[in-house]
Amino acid sequence: MEKLLIRDLTKTFPAGRSTKDRITVLDNISLTIRENEFVSLVGASGCGKSTLLSIIAGLQSHVFFFKQKTAYEILGPGADRGVVFQSYTLLPWLTARKNVEFALEATGHSKSEIGDIAMNHLKLVGLEPFAERFPAQLSGGMKQRVAIARALSYKPKLLLMDEPFGALDALTRVQMQELLTGVWEREKLTVIFVTHDVEEAVFLSDRIFVMASNPGRVKTIYDVPLPRPRTPDTHRLPEFMQLQAEVLGSIRSEMRDR
Amino acid sequence: MARPRKKSILSMQAEISPSIYLIISICSFALFFAAWALIVQSGLVRPIFLPSPVAIVARLWALGADGTLFSDIAASVYRIGVGFIAASVTALAVGVLIGNYRFWDAAIEPFLDFIRYMPVVAFVPLTILWTGTTDTQKFLVIWIGTFFQQALMFMDNIKRVPPDFIGFGRTVGLSDAKIVTKIILPSAAPQIWDTLRISLGWAWTWVVLAELVAARSGLAYRIPVAQRYFQTDTAIGYIVVLGVLGLISDQIMKFAGKRMFRYEAKH
């Protein structure tokens, strides 16, 4: 079943003084994301992958050239899509628990239930003992785990992740990938994950969209036929390494062409 | 073989314990007052120009006993209180507006920059013309002196709120008004508090100016009166009192800020 359908999406930014000068950052993007699918967008910087994600989140304007009638259009941000940003976005004056409760309250949950939902989601990311800590007292990895818990807590239909582990050190990153894949396998979510780390994309995804730049477009789509659950051993499978090399090659060839 | 250089408390970036820090600070105060007392004692300067610190303390004591000092403090604190709060509230509203809306930025910001460079001192005769020598005139001088600077600093505080905080607010469906009250203002609060603390220092200067020019009460009203009667001890004593009051208000703000924004601490 399709979860998100994008047809002929174009995005331009103003370039130069004249309002007519515009650069095309996304050119006629079309893609389909299925229910409960984990999809990664990868590509060299400047290919528009983060822009595409923030359009899906409703945080940036966009143009659709409708060729066919779609049932639903992104008119703005909304609680049907949860976003985990690359930068730390926990509100520093609220504890971990209060941060999750903040999102729950904003999305219209009643005050009586938000406490339990918040604690359950902190448990999901293994941060129950840190519920009363302020963000300044949490490590980078913990902050992103709370951010994931917060984005999942109000049950969005789509989870959008924009390089959420980009600012973390290599070891924490691997731990976070294992945590995320575990959460995904248990909770059955639909995730769009932006990253420039090919290994991360292969480990987490069902499908990988390789994007190319100037203008930003989807170049190749790779299926990831690796077995689930994915574990640390998954990295050592020959299929894993071969796919990783293929995806990397695809991005590299695109960079050479430029 | 080179030996590591012996560290003294005078070497660059040397660590000093809090108690040593306090002792050094107290010593510099003591040194200053000792030098002052010595100069007066030696007869180099006549007491009518520079009375001894002891004479000034005695004079302040007497003024405290007959109530003059406290009624003067009350008058000045009342004026700075009203003027500063009025400036802060209006400046914060304008700062939020220009910090969040490009339209209001374009409409107001260049204009504020323009007025900001007009000397506040030159407005004093006008304020008397407009409002007489009432307390309202004092409020107005403080407001003119603080509002324009504050508005720009608040704008800057607001603009520094991480854009992804606002993005997060949007993704959970908050309205613009809620984003301002529940995300932008709390997020900028520590910086806003710093701005208040800095601008309170300026407000003290403006209340002094307003009272020097036209007032019937207040700390700075007493100074030119004392000068007229050659009461140098009163004049200097009041200047010291102003300094101490400024220091106290600053320390209160600093302490309150530390309490309110404890969540920023790593432990």
DSSP secondary structure string for all residues of A31-53:
EEEETT-EEEEE-STTSSHHHHH
Cα B29 to Cα B41: distance, rounded to the nearest angstrom: 18
More confident residue, B154 or A187: B154
Residues B198, B203, B208: CA angle, nearest 5 degrees: 140
Question: CA-to-CA distance for A226 and A205, rounded, in angstroms?
Answer: 9
Distance CA A121, CA A152 (A): 7
**CA-based nearest distance B29→chain A, Å:** 38
Residue bearing the bigger pLDDT, A72 or B266: B266
Average pLDDT over every residue of A20-31: 84
- Residue partners of A142: CB distance under 8 A and separation at least 6: A96, A127, A130
pLDDT digits (tens, 9 = 90+) for A109-126: 999 999 999 999 999 899
Q: What is the pLDDT of residue B5?
A: 64
Query: How far A225 CA lies from chain B's nearest CA (Å)?
Result: 32
Give A22's strand partners.
Answer: A14
Residues of chain B contacting A, Cβ within 8 Å? 162, 164-165, 167-174, 178, 182-183, 186-187, 189, 261, 263-267
Name the packing angle between helices B135-159 and B124-131 (round to 10°).
120
- Per residue in B76-119, pLDDT tens? 999 999 999 999 999 999 999 999 999 999 999 999 999 989 99
Band of pLDDT at residue A237, cut at 50, 70 and 90: very high
Do B171 and A77 count as a contact with CB atoms less than 8 A apart? yes
Q: Provide the 8-state DSSP code for B183.
A: I
Write down the H helix ranges in B101-162. 102-116, 124-131, 135-159
Residue with tokens 């396998």, as numbered in its chain: A185
Q: Which of A81, A94, A136 lies at the smallest CB-CB distance from B266?
A: A136
- Say what percent of chain B tops pLDDT 70: 97
Residue A134 has pLDDT above 90, yes or no: yes
Nearest CA in chain B to A139: B266
- Element of type H or E holding A217: strand A217-223
Mean pLDDT to the nearest integer, B24-30: 95
Worst-scoring range by mean pLDDT, A48-62, A81-95, B81-95, B180-194? A48-62
Cross-chain Cβ contact B170/A93 below 8 Å: no
- Closest approach of chain B CAs to the CA of A143, in angstroms? 13
Return d(Cα B120, Cα B144) in angstroms, integer: 7
Is residue B106 classed as helix, strand or coil in its secondary structure?
Answer: helix
Contact B161, B183 (CB under 8 A): yes
| Distance between CA atoms of residues B183 and B162, nearest Å | 10
- Tell me the average pLDDT across B135-144: 96
Contact of B250 with B200, CB cutoff 8 Å: yes
Mean pLDDT across A54-79: 68
CA A215 to CA A27: how far, in whole Å?
6
Contact A89 B266 (CB under 8 A): no
Pick among A50, A55, A56, A83 to test the B interface (most B CBs inside 10 A): A83
pLDDT band at A79 (very low <50, low <70, confident <90, very high): confident
Mean of pLDDT over chain A: 88
Contact call for B173 and A91, based on CB within 8 A: no
| Beta carbons of B264 and A57 less than 8 Å apart | no
pLDDT at A67: 45
The answer to ipTM > 0.90 is: no
| pTM of the complete model | 0.87
pLDDT in tens, A175-234: 999 999 998 988 888 999 999 999 999 999 999 999 998 888 899 999 999 998 899 999
Instruction: Summarize the confidence of residues B1-6 as an average pLDDT.
Output: 64
Residue of A53, A55, A93 to mutate, testing the B interface (most B Cβ within 10 Å of its Cβ): A93
Distance, in Å, from the CA atom of A63 to the CA atom of A73, rounded to the nearest integer, reads 11
Given a cut of 70, whether residue A63 has pLDDT beyond it is no
Between CA B192 and CA B63 the distance in angstroms is 38
Report strand pairing: A38-42 vs A191-194.
Answer: parallel
Strands A63-64 and A2-14: antiparallel
Interface test with B, best of A53, A91, A144 (most B CBs within 10 A): A91
Neighbours of B2 (CB within 10 A): 4
Q: Which pLDDT does position A74 carry in this prediction?
A: 66
> Strand order of the sheet with strand A22-34?
A22-34, A2-14, A63-64
CA pseudo-torsion sign B181, B182, B185, B186: positive
Q: Does residue A68 register a pLDDT over 60?
A: no
Q: Describe the strand order of the beta sheet including A217-223 as a list of residue ranges.
A: A81-84, A158-162, A191-194, A38-42, A207-212, A217-223
In this prediction, residue A161 carries a pLDDT of 95
pLDDT at B198: 95
Instruction: Tell me the C-alpha distance between A218 and A187, whole Å.
Output: 28
Question: Nearest Cα to A5, choosing from A60, A65, A72?
Answer: A72
User: Which residues does chain B have within 8 Å of residue A135's beta carbon, measured at their own beta carbons?
Assistant: 263
Average pLDDT value for chain B: 93
CA dihedral sign of residues B52, B54, B58, B63: positive
For residue A11, give the H/E element and its range.
Answer: strand A2-14
Residues of B in contact with A79 (CB under 8 A): 171-173
* pLDDT number for residue A31: 86
* A&B contacts, CB < 8 Å: 68
CB contact under 8 A, A79 and B173: yes
Residue B2 pLDDT > 70, yes or no?
Answer: no
Determine the pLDDT at residue A151. Answer: 93
B221-258 tens-digit pLDDT:
999 999 999 999 999 999 999 999 999 999 999 999 99
User: Rounded to 5 degrees, what are φ and ψ at A229?
Assistant: -70, 150
For residue A108, the chain B residues in CB contact (below 8 A) are: 173
Question: Mutate which of B171, B180, B184, B187 to disrupt the A interface (most A C-beta within 10 Å)?
Answer: B171
Share of chain A above pLDDT 70, in %: 93
Q: B168 vs A82: CB contact, 8 Å cut-off?
A: no
Nearest-neighbour CA in chain A from B161: distance (Å): 11
Question: Quick one: average pLDDT of B171-197?
Answer: 96
The tokens 């971990």 sit on which residue? Answer: A96
Residue A141 CA to residue A173 CA, distance in Å, equals 8
**For range A141-158, the mean pLDDT:** 92
